[in-house]
Amino acid sequence: MQEQERKRRDAMRKSQQRYNANRDESDKFYGTAAWRKLRNVYIRRHPLCSECEKHHRVVPAEIVDHIIPRKRAPELSLKWQNLRALCRACHNRVGDRVSRGGGSEGVG
């Protein structure tokens, strides 16, 4: 079971690397020292998914998400109040909504 999990994580990491290599130039922001530092502090202070918590579920956060997307408000990129900690499932729901033209202010 542990071997399967390791293989799954390795495959996901490689997939993410390929995805990130093809991101828009504006998304290079996520590789900056300022973002990495802020993200690390935020996730330590908010270790659980904020959306899951609203539904009384305890799920570890994996992603620090911009409430108002960076492409819409780049000036809020490093603002603490524009961040939320999400699990992958909640983040994917947000991404689907934003890509369809909806807002990202709410997930569920």
If asked whether residues 43 and 12 sit together in one domain, one would say no
If asked whether residues 2 and 50 sit together in one domain, one would say no
If asked whether residues 37 and 83 sit together in one domain, one would say yes
If asked whether residues 13 and 47 sit together in one domain, one would say no
Cβ-contact 48, 61 below 8 angstroms: yes
If asked whether residues 16 and 44 sit together in one domain, one would say no
Query: Which two three-digit tokens encode residue 70?
Result: 């960076």
pTM for the full predicted model: 0.68
The DSSP element (H or E) to which 53 belongs, if any, is: helix 50-54
List C-alpha distances in Å: 24 to 27, 32, 75, 89, 90: 5, 14, 17, 23, 23
If asked whether residues 61 and 10 sit together in one domain, one would say no
Give tens-digit pLDDT for 36-74.
999 999 999 999 999 999 999 999 999 999 999 988 999
The DSSP element (H or E) to which 86 belongs, if any, is: strand 83-86
If asked whether residues 36 and 85 sit together in one domain, one would say yes
Give tens-digit pLDDT for 67-107.
999 889 999 999 999 999 999 999 998 765 555 454 555 44
Query: Which two three-digit tokens encode residue 103?
Result: 């807002």
Position 9 scores a pLDDT of 85
If asked whether residues 52 and 98 sit together in one domain, one would say yes
If asked whether residues 47 and 89 sit together in one domain, one would say yes
Give SS3 for 40: helix
- Counted domains in the chain: 2
